[in-house]
A and B are shown apart, each in its own frame.
Chain A
Amino acid sequence: MQRLDLPPSQAHPLAGLFSERSGVSLALVAMLSMGAALYAALLYAPTERIQGDVQRIFYFHVPLAWTSYLAFFVVFVASAAYLVKRAPLMDAVARSSAEVGLLFTTMMLITGSLWARPIWGTWWSWDARLTTTLLLWFIYVGYLMLRSSVDDEEKAARYAAVIGIVGAVDIPIIHQSVVWWRSLHPESVVLASGGPAMPGSMLTALLVSLAAFTILYVVLVLMRTRLELARVDLRALRRRALERVA
């Protein structure tokens, strides 16, 4: 095969990461680690004295929050990289990460609500972190809506990258504004000064779950990116076929 016939997705040094084989083996790792996380959260970790079993949702809620923020940070970096280099791979990564991030943010909001109902006595409170997360959710819903409402793929990628960057730059300001607006969320128990304010076994369960969700995030983004790159290749093939006919 000639060099010219390489599909566009393969024209990037990092393209090998997204091969079928690496995807399958990583998916196995993700499955095993999610199993470990379930065991750690539901059986291994002790029952909290005051909140009871409801507290166990914490082992899913916190990792979801962490992976969501990681996802939107990846969108930011990949968007900037796309605008500089215009590599289709970077755009595919940004898009995939935004989709997975939106999924995880949705689940974070739902698990948070489920916990808040028995503990706070309400499904929702306009607390700073909840409000920031909700606005984050809206920003990336807009990001994905924008992608699907531009016909030209290359333009859609550029516009989305701009929103991916502006949105990420805006998040700290949004957070500051809603912190001053009001706050009621439980203080961070892991990064508290003077060490984590919880028993070691709970911390272990949380760390296992954090690792599992991070792996799951990576696997989902890799698979989604591969799908996106296949679409890019398909479009390139179609275009070439049309040129040959014409």
Chain B
Amino acid sequence: MSRANGRSPFFRTVNTLVWRDLLSEYRSREILGGGIVFALLTLVVFNFAIDLRLESAEEVAPGILWIGFAFAGMLAFGRSFAAERERGTLDGLLLAPIDRGAIYLARAITNAILMCIVELVSLPVFVALYNVRAAWGELLLTTALGTIGFTSAGTLVAAIAANTRAREIMLPVLLLPLTVPVLIASVKATAVALGAQSVEPLPWLQLLLAFDVIMVATSFLVFEYILDE
């Protein structure tokens, strides 16, 4: 294989696959539209479930935010493999002489980009609706790290769940217990970014980083066993 642009064939494959997924999403706008509306609806509905006129909104609101992100993310992960299956494009992808790890990485990157877009739209609305002050640098860093952790595990689990009978149920049942560390750490770090005094931010960001590295590496290694037909 030629080494165009000085990059290895592996990363060129990943690059191509990410553009392919993003282009197909741009044409259908299925995941983004649904994801954004879903995340915003969560913020509104939780406002009725929990009365947030209390003093410590910055302690409670992060939990609501991350429940919204997690559920919007799960919808997106499930949808991304279902769409591939409906169009029969997964078989074509598997017949192509490309590394299985590249397929995982590309899918995870696409999912993370889509989740980030949903989050970038939801965050300002969240800050306005819940009337909190945000340190945007910390908030965006936390959101990025949390999203990487959630998508790295989510992409792997969604690939498995797509091949089961009850795939809408299997995805959350398998994914939520695995990603509890991401949820706890993201909620705590988000609380700090919103001005909560009772939490120390650094350990939580380190935990997120550790989860991201370990989960991406493990998923990358085992993904080939899922696609092996």
Q: Is B166 an interface residue (CB 8 A)?
A: yes
**CB neighbours of A178 from chain B (8 A):** 180, 184
Shortest Cβ distance from B100 into chain A, in angstroms?
12
Chain A interface, >50% SS class: helix
Q: Is A193 an interface residue (CB 8 A)?
A: no
Within 8 A of A (CB), among B72-114: none
Decide: A173 and B226 in contact? CB cutoff 8 A.
no
Decide: A149 and B166 in contact? CB cutoff 8 A.
yes
Chain B interface, >50% SS class: helix
Q: Is A146 an interface residue (CB 8 A)?
A: yes
**CB neighbours of A162 from chain B (8 A):** 156, 160, 222, 225-226
Q: Is B163 an interface residue (CB 8 A)?
A: yes
**CB neighbours of A135 from chain B (8 A):** 177, 180
Which among A138, A146, A169, A176 is the interface contact of B164 at CB below 8 angstroms?
Answer: A146
Q: A135-B180, A138-B177, A146-B170 are in contact. Are A166 and B225 (CB under 8 A)?
A: no
Complex Cα distance A173/B181, Å? 7
A sample of 26 inter-chain contacts (CB < 8 A) reads: A83-B222, A135-B180, A145-B173, A146-B160, A146-B174, A149-B165, A149-B166, A150-B163, A150-B164, A151-B165, A155-B163, A158-B225, A159-B160, A159-B163, A162-B225, A165-B222, A166-B153, A166-B156, A166-B178, A166-B215, A166-B218, A169-B214, A169-B218, A173-B211, A173-B214, A174-B180
Shortest Cβ distance from A83 into chain B, in angstroms?
5
Of all chain A residues, the one with the shortest Cβ separation from B165 is A149
Q: Of residues B203, B214, B225, which shows the largest number of chain A Cβ atoms within 10 Å of its Cβ?
A: B225
Q: Is B207 an interface residue (CB 8 A)?
A: yes
**CB neighbours of B207 from chain A (8 A):** 173, 176-177, 180
Q: What 1/0 mask marks residues of chain B from 107 to 143 whose CB sits below 8 Å from any chain A CB?
A: 0000000000000000000000000000000000000
Given contacts A138-B177, A180-B203, A181-B184, 16 further A-B contacts (CB under 8 A): A141-B173, A145-B170, A149-B165, A149-B170, A155-B163, A158-B228, A159-B160, A159-B163, A159-B164, A162-B222, A165-B222, A167-B178, A170-B181, A173-B211, A174-B181, A177-B181
**CB neighbours of A158 from chain B (8 A):** 225-226, 228
Interface residues of A (CB under 8 A from B): 83, 135, 138-139, 141-142, 145-146, 149-151, 155, 158-159, 161-163, 165-167, 169-170, 173-174, 176-178, 180-181
Q: Is B13 an interface residue (CB 8 A)?
A: no
**CB neighbours of B228 from chain A (8 A):** 158
Decide: B164 and A149 in contact? CB cutoff 8 A.
yes
**CB neighbours of A163 from chain B (8 A):** 157, 160, 174
Complex Cα distance A226/B203, Å? 46
**CB neighbours of B156 from chain A (8 A):** 162, 166
**CB neighbours of B170 from chain A (8 A):** 142, 145-146, 149
Q: Is B42 an interface residue (CB 8 A)?
A: no
**CB neighbours of A181 from chain B (8 A):** 184
Complex Cα distance A71/B72, Å? 34
Complex Cα distance A167/B178, Å? 7
**CB neighbours of B219 from chain A (8 A):** 166
Complex Cα distance A226/B181, Å? 37
Q: What 1/0 mask marks residues of chain B from 143 to 184 whose CB sits below 8 Å from any chain A CB?
A: 000000000010011001001111000100110111011001
Q: Is B185 an interface residue (CB 8 A)?
A: yes
**CB neighbours of B41 from chain A (8 A):** none
Q: A135-B180, A158-B226, A166-B153 are in contact. Are A177 and B173 (CB under 8 A)?
A: no
Of all chain B residues, the one with the shortest Cβ separation from A154 is B228
Decide: B180 and A165 in contact? CB cutoff 8 A.
no
Of all chain A residues, the one with the shortest Cβ separation from B226 is A162
**CB neighbours of B214 from chain A (8 A):** 169, 173
**CB neighbours of A150 from chain B (8 A):** 163-165
